[in-house]
Amino acid sequence: MRETLKRYAKGEIPLARVFLHDMLLVGTIINVITGGLALIAYASGAQGYLALAILPLPYNIVLCVGSRAEPRLPDAGGNRPP
């Protein structure tokens, strides 16, 4: 898990995967589920509905940082920087 987070932070994961798979597919599913649970908890008068609403926030922050990380591009000779 920690290695995956490091790869996101360094920009090593392709932007297409971060955007299409992680943000659109997985992020939408997580947000819809937690949003629905928070709405159900709020309607039933439960105390922890706000905690459910902000539960996916760390995942969303990691994806935003990972998508904005500067990718490491090869130089003119085709070599990747260390």
> 32: domain range?
2-68
Task: For the chain, 82 residues long, give each residue's pLDDT as a single digit of tens.
Answer: 688 778 877 777 777 777 788 888 888 888 888 888 888 888 888 888 888 888 888 888 877 776 666 555 555 555 555 5
In a domain, 24, yes or no: yes
Q: For the chain, how many structural domains are there in total?
A: 1
User: 35 with 68: CB under 8 angstroms?
Assistant: no
Q: Which residues fall within 8 angstroms of residue 76, CB to CB, at 6 or more apart? A: none
In a domain, 27, yes or no: yes
In a domain, 52, yes or no: yes
pLDDT of 35 reads 87
Instruction: Please report, to the nearest 10 degrees, the dihedral formed by the alpha carbons of residues 57, 62, 66, 69 taken in order.
Output: 100
DSSP string for 5-42: HHHHHHT-S-HHIIIIIIIIIIIHHHHHHHHHHHHHHH
In a domain, 73, yes or no: no
In a domain, 77, yes or no: no
In a domain, 80, yes or no: no
In a domain, 78, yes or no: no
